[in-house]
Structure 1
Amino acid sequence: MPATSKFVTRYASVVDVPVKNIWGLLASWGSEQLWMPDCTSSSLEGFGIGSIRELLFTTRPGITTRETLVAVDAENYTIRFQVDISVIKDALQYGNIKLTPVNETQTEVIWWGESDLDDETLKESLDKLYESFNIAIADNLKA
Structure 2
Amino acid sequence: METFNKEFPPLACPKTDKFFSVSRSDITRRIIEENIPVGALDASKASINAICDEYMTVSTEGMAWLLPAVCKYVLQRKPDHETFAEMIPLYIELGEIGYSFNLSFLNERQKELLYNLLEYLAETYSLDVCDAQIKLENKT
- Structure with bigger strand share is 1
* Higher gyration radius (CA): 1
TM-score after normalising by structure 1? 0.25
* Structure with more relative contact order (C-alpha pairs < 8 Å, separation 6 or more): 1
Normalized against structure 2, the TM-score is what? 0.25
Higher share of residues assigned helix: 2
